[in-house]
Structure 1
Amino acid sequence: MLEVILKRMDSLSKLDNTSTTDARRLDELSSAINRFQPAGLVERIQAIAQNVSNMAIRVEQILQNSMVQGRAVRDGTSSQCEVPRDPRFPECPGKVDWMRARWTSDPCYAFYGVDGSDCSFLIYLSEVEWFCPPLAWRNHSSPPIQHAQQAKAPKRQAAFRTDLSVLLDQVGTGKESLSFMKRRIRRLAQQWATAANRLDAKLEQRWRDQKKILVHVGFLTEESGDVFSPKVLKGGPLGEMVQWADILTALHVLGHNLKISMSVKELQGFLGVPPGRGSCPLTGPLPFDLIYTDYHGLQQMKQHMGLSLKKHKCHIRVIDTFGTEPAYNHEEYATLHGYRTNWGYWNLNARQYMTMFPHTPDNSFMGFVSEELNETEKRSIQQNKVNSMAVVYGKEASMWKGKEGFLQILHRYMEVHGTVYYETQRPPEVPAFVKNHGLLPQNELQQLLRKAKLFIGFGFPYEGPAPLEAIANGCIFLQPKFHPPHSSLNHEFFRGKPTSREVSSQHPYAEQYIGRPHVMTVDYNNSLEFDSAIREIMRTKVEPYLPYEYTCEGMLERVHSYIQHQDFCAPESPFIPANLSRQGSSSGSRITGPLFVPLPNSTALGWASNVTAPPAWPPLSSLRLLVSQEGQSCVEACHSASFICEPAHFRFINNKDALHGLEVQCEVVDSEINHILPAFSVVRRECGLQREPLLFSCAGHSPKYRRLCPCRDFRHGQVALCRDCL
């Protein structure tokens, strides 16, 4: 019986119009369904219902198409809607075929006037999308939607803000994560205000463009699952919320026009997404200069912005805790060479990814802030430190498993305190000698850290904000060294992340940028080394310390510089050394000397002072050109010379002039697509230049090649900015 019903439905779906016969057939179908007994086959009945619904839609399409065709004949436009065969628009015929078959798959097409006729397809594909040529008979007094530009509004100057009440209202309510962020914003309000006044004075009333900025916190949306909010009061990770609270505050304090989205519905409203399933472009120009989001938000934008995402992606900044390297970011290259993961492949400029710590120079370092102490507070802390008191870094009971061995050693010297979350009973994983305070509010945790001498890590979580807060409160941070370093090749946590970075300890920033006496990194598996470290810590006196880049002023300085100077939408013209001229030359004479010259007391080369430097940020005055060792990345090569790798400078050294300046012997110079280029092989005397700018990579390395590395200087306490970058 089912087969009979389905056959009759199929024949009905192929009808071109309705008739008396059709009505009779519908009656027969209804009678057949009434006689049919489900006998447990509910799913099949539901399928039949869906087919009936689809049939109704198809009949509606047929009727609409018939009406449109009749109207086209009356209006004389039918001949004007032949599908063009224009070599400038090779995809047009295929797109029209797709529209014929699928235009009802998303209501957004009807929103833009598509009605099933070829005329409507061509209008849509030429005026909303850009796959077909404009129709000659259409009124082109207004530009197509995809080319429409916002009227050039006069630039407005950004003014520093110290009142955070508007921001607090914008953050919203209803989730514990939002409450946590608002508490943090309030607690640091005075420090942000002081920092704003300092930076304002430092910039000396310099003009700053006010930007229209959308912040879409994707990981806190219900659509992404939001696993974070329910765990805020249960020992869950807070690092991301700390960073987002600080980003929101920095953007607000810097005086920008801010909109905040915590749901897909809000995102759609702010962007002007047409109703439907996200297949169509936005209804108008992008209403924002910048969009800050995360990987979850980026995926949501892809689902709802249609083709507009590709057009507007240069405005996006992705907050990315662990970093995304260029080899993983370039979709085709990642797929072909084994770098494809669930997170990378967006084909952004790698500097559009913004990290929590400055571990990936290919990305921009966003960071967060830690509370800064005044001199009175610092003196009080030093006077009240308990030399034999340690606090363990680990809020979840599972982190304590298998740690009793070295905790026993620690217990011989110090009173051990924990802040492990529990509901009713003490977690069995926490040894009995540990004084567990349970999960503490931030102000109480702060007081505990101000008394303790030692803050000790278990190896996880990686790279969180807590160690910096402990060091800022006068603790020494003790952490395990990893042998071998943890990476996506050998550790489950990093597997699938778009980075090949090797993590040498729980907190590499603390190890490399702060170091002794504030940070000690030892092998926890060596009980003698661990014991010795504890005794050394008890003998060592330290003052509270906070790197400038993690103060409110440091973050404001950094974010201000990014907003005013980073522009990934402006086309980057190819760098052609032959077009450069000598500085001060009135006739614009071409240069004949070297572009890169030796720097005093350095093995690096710098930009020749007599050559006019092309516009760039960071400026070329910061460039330090080095050669790596074989197997060494530019991150390591620059760091070993006390510099930072600067990916923005790659395009200026990706040429024969740089090879010549470094006295590299090349029998062959090829241009290829490979993330280790520019580089050369000493043995084979082969040199390679980069053909794909998205693959310029500080992180790339190869045992067979030495790399050309564009290093730069940096401001004291602010590795993200060169000395002339502010």
Structure 2
Amino acid sequence: MGGVESRGVLRKISDMLEVILKRMDSLSKLDNSTTSDTRRLDELSSAINRFQPAGLVERIQAIAQNVSNMAVRVEQILQNSMAAGRAVRDGSSGQCEVPRDPRYPDCPGKVDWMRARWTSDPCYAFYGVDGSDCSFLIYLNEVEWFCPPLAWRNHSSPPTVHTHTRQTATTKRQAAFRTDLSSLLDLVGTGKESLSFMKRRMRRLASQWGTAAQRLHAKLRQRWREQKKILVHVGFLTEESGDVFSPKVLKGGPLGEMVQWADILTALHVLGHNLKISMSVKELQGFLGVPPGRGSCPLTGPLPFDLIYTDYHGMQQMKQHMGLSLKRHKCHIRVIDTFGTEPAYNHEDYATLHGYRTNWGYWNLNSRQYMTMFPHTPDNSFMGFVSEELNDTEKSSIMRNKVNNMAVVYGKEASMWKLQQGKEGFLQILHRYMEVHGTVYYETQRPPEVPAYVKNHGLLPQHELQTLLRKAKLFIGFGFPYEGPAPLEAIANGCIYLQPKFHPPHSSLNHEFFRGKPTSREVSSQHPYAEQYIGRPHVMTVDYNNSQEFDSAIREIMSTKVEPYLPYEYTCEGMLERVHAYIEHQDFCTPEAPFPPANSSSKLGLSSSASPGPLFVLLPNSSALTWAPNANAPPAWPPLSSLRLLASQEGQSCVEACQRANLVCEPALFRFVNNREALRGLEVQCEVVEAEVNHVFPAFSVLRRECGLQKDPLLYSCAGLSPKYRRLCPCRDYRRGQVALCRDCL
């Protein structure tokens, strides 16, 4: 350490000592210092008297730290003593005994914690905590909610803050459809290539969003809609999360998440809601009202938003900065989650006990609060994105100008082309029949992974890529990336999409990409949605390891004519319709009425005396049951008119059981089939009926004649399966082209 630095540190120590002496002088003038405080001050004074500035230079830093610690402790003692003095003057010292109230069992423990740790976060001082028991009790009642009110406090005025109650607006505003995106573009901001990409997409699709808004407005017949206050916090694009996406936008990096977020923002704006957009933790703190400090305390006021859309990165950031408020307000949160989160992974305690704990999940949300890119996980809500919709003239032009022997490869990164992954065989077959084009990113030299016979265009802007797809006959996937938007865009531009079938299916059990994701889903191909919901002739899924099958598929593609095709749910109107329905009908904050009703004679199900007739009746020409027309139908969304109750096979999930009946599993309806009436309607023989915490219940074992009902609603799971049980599956119908909504759901 140099001489100048040493003198600087010594000056700092001198200043600290002066502050300490002033504090001690203040303390000496207080009459109510406790014996223990006096003893601590004597110890500090003795330590200061022993302090010699002229010591070894290498110890100066350590001495400075010790003095700094002394200053902090003196400050605490001073605040404690002054608080005690105020309590004596106010006459409240005897009124701040820690209560033993059975209605507030956590209060004593919380006070003990505050005594030991209140200086650990400046937010406590921000709320008036000064080290006295009175301040602890005031804070733990009026800011948090662990202690009872203090009788001597003035309760005629509003408390400091009530984070557990939402401030209701005196007047509700009507949401009006918007067709002008200029204010949204301003909100998105600038400064990152990811934001520029999103804004370019918004501008390009603006006219289609406008047309879609007019169509939905007409469909809803001018129905009154409340304008919601919505915060959109894009966690994965914040600097605090590392933002690995923005630098790769122009280098072939993944764009799927940015595509989806751009469309979510546009849909919410077009629907007429009041948006705030956060792309940093600082903005998040400002919008939410986070007190200064390290995130231990609740928000400074009621939650100023009806809904918060974020992602897993955003959830972690809110957990760090919202304190207890996150638990209180998490019902307002919607998590954009590409690959889905199943209930067994979402339930923190259950996941920990049963081996489902991962780095994601475990938030104890209602599983429908997770919103996916494709409708692959019915336990979650399907958010989706949009692809550009063509008019009839554009479709005719594309079909006339298709080049029959032209193929474009799905894969912008050179690593996806590595031949050691077994691609040389089918690529040679493809090259035998077709001219192969690539859009692989490179800076100076052609990527060596791309064979010489491939015409590589490099990374193309969206409009140039679209031109290429409109000429090509085939869009071919190599097996990765999974479930991106590109295949839908290719199909919408008149391509046939060819993809590999996976034997065995890829999952967290056998594939590194899915390991650690909060789902047990098995992926049967590169793009299961394209395989299951679109299919031939637009999509062909074959075994790439079977050269004869692959060869046959190429020849079939060359002889097949297809029109450009886009599923309705991926049009602007389809997404607006879906998001509108979620905002209008999904409410995870209002507790659901118990079913069966509380006055039912059986907690596990309805008895015959509780209902004049059966709740379920058999559908004509079907093995499924539906809600009886003469049975009372409690309010629900989706409505009970959409319910189709059936039993799965052993080892079969409700996802698969419903799909096989051309239906969709609906987790919101589990609570209506989790009873004896449902078992009776399916003619299940039960010697034992028990309620348990098990993600495959409600279910029954034919062999053992045992029936299980679900004890924890968070574990209602479409995805759960067991070889021992047949499951009770609440399936529902769905609108044509809109699998997320039942026929009566709009």
User: 2:447 matched to 1:427?
Assistant: yes
Give the aligned partner of residue 406 of structure 2.
Answer: 389
Alignment of 1:307-456 (within 5 A): 307-402=324-419, 403-456=423-476
TM-score by length of 1: 0.94
Find 2:78's aligned residue among 32, 42, 63: 63
Q: Give the superposition deviation at 1:85.
A: 1.3
Alignment match of 1:228 (pick from 235, 245, 250): 245
- Tell me the matched-pair count: 702
In the alignment, what sits opposite 2:216? 199
- 2:174 aligned partner: 157
Matches within 5 A, 1:494-533: 494-533=514-553
The letter for the 2-side match of 1:71 is: R
d(CA) in 2 for partners of 1:641 and 1:103?
Answer: 59
Instruction: Choose from 173, 181, 192 the match for 2:198.
Output: 181
Q: Distance in 1 between matches of 2:198 and 2:353?
A: 41
CA contact (8 A) 1:549 1:717 kept: yes
Partner of 2:563: 543
C-alpha distance in 2, partners of 1:330/1:262? 28
Query: 1:574-607: CA deviations, max 9, x gaps?
Result: 1116969xxxxxxxx9632110001122211100
For residue 296 of structure 1, the aligned residue among 303, 313, 337 is 313
Q: Write the deviation string for residues 255-311 of structure 1: whole angstroms up to 9, x where unpaired.
A: 001100000000000001111110000011100000000000001000000000000
Q: Describe the superposition over 1:592-648 as per-residue Cα deviations: whole angstroms up to 9, x where unpaired.
A: 211000112221110001112100000000000000000000000000000000000
What amino acid is aligned across from residue 597 of structure 1 in structure 2?
V
Indicate whether 1:135 and 2:150 are aligned.
Answer: yes
CA contact (8 A) 1:677 1:696 kept: yes
Aligned to 2:738: 718
Distance 1:537 1:640 in 2: 28
- Cα 1:341–1:21 change in 2 (3 A) is closer
Task: Tell me how far 1:30 sits from its aligned partner.
Answer: 3.9
**Structure 1 match to 2:119:** 104
Indicate the residue corresponding to 2:139 in structure 1.
Answer: 124
Equivalent in the alignment of 1:675: 695
| Cα distance between partner residues in 2 of 1:23 and 1:185 | 67
What are the equivalent positions in structure 2 for 1:483-498 lying under 5 Å apart?
A: 483-498=503-518
> Aligned with 1:493: secondary structure?
helix
Look up the equivalent residue of 1:706 and give its one-letter code: R
How far apart, CA to CA, are the structure 2 residues paired with 1:514 and 1:502? 19
The whole-number CA distance in structure 1 between the counterparts of 2:627 and 2:194 is 48
Partner of residue 501 from structure 2, selected from 477, 481, 488: 481
Contact 2:643–2:669, Cα closer than 8 Å, also in 1: yes
Cα contact 1:16–1:59 (8 A) shared by 2 = no
Alpha-carbon distance in 1 for matches of 2:253, 2:39: 61
> What's the offset of the Cα at 1:319?
0.1
C-alpha distance in 2, partners of 1:579/1:102? 46
Change (3 A) 1:29 1:161: same
The residue aligned with 1:29 is 51
TM-score normalized by the length of structure 2: 0.92
| 2:94 alignment partner in structure 1 | 79
Q: What is the CA-CA distance between 1:97 and the residue it aligns to? A: 1.1
How much identity, in percent, do the aligned residues show?
A: 85
Per-residue displacement from partner, 1:37-67 (whole Å, max 9, x unpaired)? 42xxxxx765554333222111101011111
How far is the alpha carbon of 1:388 from its aligned partner? 0.3
Partner amino acid, structure 2, of 1:212: K
Structure 1 vs Structure 2 CA RMSD: 1.8
Matched residues in 2 for 1:26 and 1:578: separation?
69
Q: 2 CA distance for matches of 1:399 and 1:45?
A: 57
Letter in 2 for 1:29: F
Correspondence for 1:469: 489
Rounded Cα–Cα distance in structure 2 between residues aligned with 1:30 and 1:424: 65
Determine helix, strand or coil for the equivalent of 1:35. Answer: coil
Give, in whole Å, the separation in 2 of the partners of 1:260 and 1:382.
41
C-alpha separation between the residues in 1 aligned to 2:392 and 2:89? 85
Q: Who is 1:689 aligned against?
A: 709
**Cα contact 2:406–2:434 (8 A) shared by 1:** yes
- Residues 44 and 70 of structure 2 are in contact (CA less than 8 Å); yes or no, is this contact kept in structure 1? no
Tell me whether 1:51 sits opposite 2:73 in the alignment. Answer: no
1:126–1:448 Cα change, 3 Å? same
Letter of the 2:145 counterpart = W
- Gaps in structure 2 of 5+ consecutive residues: 1-16, 25-35, 601-608
Q: Deviations over 1:468-515 (max 9, x none)?
A: 000000000000000000000110000000000000000000000000
Distance 2:101 2:107 in 1: 8
Q: Which amino acid letter does the alignment assign opposite residue 93 of structure 1?
A: P
- Alpha-carbon separation, structure 2, partners of 1:53 and 1:418: 63
Answer yes or no: is the 8 Å Cα contact 1:644–1:711 preserved in 2.
yes
Task: Provide the residue aligned with 1:655 in structure 2.
Answer: 675
